[in-house]
């Protein structure tokens, strides 16, 4: 069984600063994928970034980067140059070989002006 | 990337009634899933929607309560049957398209309130 742990219920960040959201995972599956999603108050799930377990380089998508440390089973999301529109809930998720997603509890990010 | 639409976007229903949620994807996808997000909680997988056959349900979810259909590669429905206030949640459809990447997208969700 897969388990995703997000230990930060809420984070505050100043506008234009960077913020790191923690995510650790546990799986016995050798092949898996790690995802980060953003969920604003509207409820939609917005795909941010994906990292495959065999990918050698850390994934980046614009202001989002994933700090993947396979040996430590961590997949932290870094949001650089935070904007007010980044205020939302962020979920880390893992997908195993059956393509089912397991989600962490989420981290609420509030960006302050 | 796949574009996923769902309808209705929200609904308020009375206890004991049923609601069918539709999910449409703009491209042929390999796998479709239904998730539930109860208020203040994370997402939980309900089932995998299989094309032309019965859905595969996760522990704690049963076909009588959440019947699912997937008649083709781009369309699926989830019915929430005999609703109670505990069914008040956001229901999200998700799809995987195999290609050069393995992104997994979600529909905008259906916000259900049962009174």
- Retrieve residue B29's tokens: 């996808």
CA-CA distances (angstroms) from residue B7 to A37, A42, B46, B77, B91? 21, 15, 18, 10, 10
User: Which residues contact residue B54 at a Cβ distance below 8 angstroms, ignoring those fewer than 6 apart?
Assistant: B63
- SS3 at position B16: coil
| Residue B96 contacts A where some CB pair is shorter than 8 Å | yes
Burial B64-97 (b: 16+ CB within 10 A, else e): ebbbbbbeebbebbbebbebeeebbbbbbbbbbb
Measured distance CA(A56)–CA(A35) in Å, rounded? 16
Measured distance CA(A46)–CA(B43) in Å, rounded? 13
The answer to whether A57 and A42 have CB atoms below 8 angstroms apart is no
Using CA coordinates, name the residue in chain B closest to A108: B40
- Retrieve residue B113's tokens: 């309130």
Which residues in chain B have Cβ-Cβ distances shorter than 8 Å to A37? 106
C-alpha angle A19-A84-A50 in degrees, rounded to nearest 5: 50
Cis peptide leading into B60, omega within 30 of 0?
Answer: no
CB spacing of A45 vs B43 below 8 angstroms? yes
| pLDDT score recorded for residue B27 | 82
| pLDDT score recorded for residue B2 | 75
Q: Which residues of chain A have pLDDT under 70?
A: none
- Output the DSSP codes for B56-101: EEPTT--TTTS-EEEEETTEEEEEE-S--GGG-EEEEEEEE--SSS
Q: What is the DSSP letter of A72?
A: T
Task: Encode chain B (115 residues) as per-residue pLDDT tens digits.
Answer: 678 999 999 999 999 999 999 999 988 777 899 999 999 999 999 999 999 889 999 999 999 999 999 999 899 999 999 999 999 999 999 998 766 567 788 999 999 999 9
| Residue B109 contacts A where some CB pair is shorter than 8 Å | yes
Sort A54 into a burial class: Cβ within 10 Å, 0-12 / 13-18 / 19+: exposed
- SS3 at position A85: helix
Q: Are strands A88-95 and A101-103 parallel, antiparallel or unpaired?
A: antiparallel
Q: Which residues of chain B from 25 to 44 reach within 8 Å of chain A, CB to CB?
A: 31, 33, 35, 37, 42-44
Residue closest to A62 by CA, chosen among A85, A31, A42: A85
| pLDDT score recorded for residue B97 | 77
């Amino acid at each position: 069984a897969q388990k995703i742990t997000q230990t930060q219920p809420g984070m505050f960040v100043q506008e234009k600063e960077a913020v790191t959201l923690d995510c650790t995972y546990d799986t016995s599956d050798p092949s898996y994928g790690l995802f980060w999603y953003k969920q604003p108050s509207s409820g939609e799930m917005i795909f941010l970034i994906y990292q495959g377990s065999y990918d050698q380089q850390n994934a980046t998508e614009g202001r989002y980067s994933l700090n993947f440390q396979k040996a430590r089973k961590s997949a932290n999301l870094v949001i650089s140059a935070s904007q007010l529109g980044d205020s939302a809930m962020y979920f880390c998720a893992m997908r195993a070989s059956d393509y089912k997603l397991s989600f962490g509890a989420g981290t609420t990010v509030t960006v302050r002006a | 990337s796949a574009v996923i639409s769902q309808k209705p976007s929200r609904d308020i229903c009375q206890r004991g009634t049923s609601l069918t949620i539709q999910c449409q994807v703009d491209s042929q996808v390999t796998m479709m899933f239904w998730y539930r997000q109860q208020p203040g909680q994370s997402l939980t997988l309900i089932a995998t929607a299989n094309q032309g056959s019965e859905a595969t349900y996760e522990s704690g979810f049963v076909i009588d309560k959440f019947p699912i259909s997937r008649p083709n590669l781009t369309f699926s429905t989830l019915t929430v049957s005999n609703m109670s206030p505990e069914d008040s949640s956001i229901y999200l459809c998700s799809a995987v398209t195999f290609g050069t990447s393995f992104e997994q997208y979600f529909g905008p969700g259906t916000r259900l309130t049962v009174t």
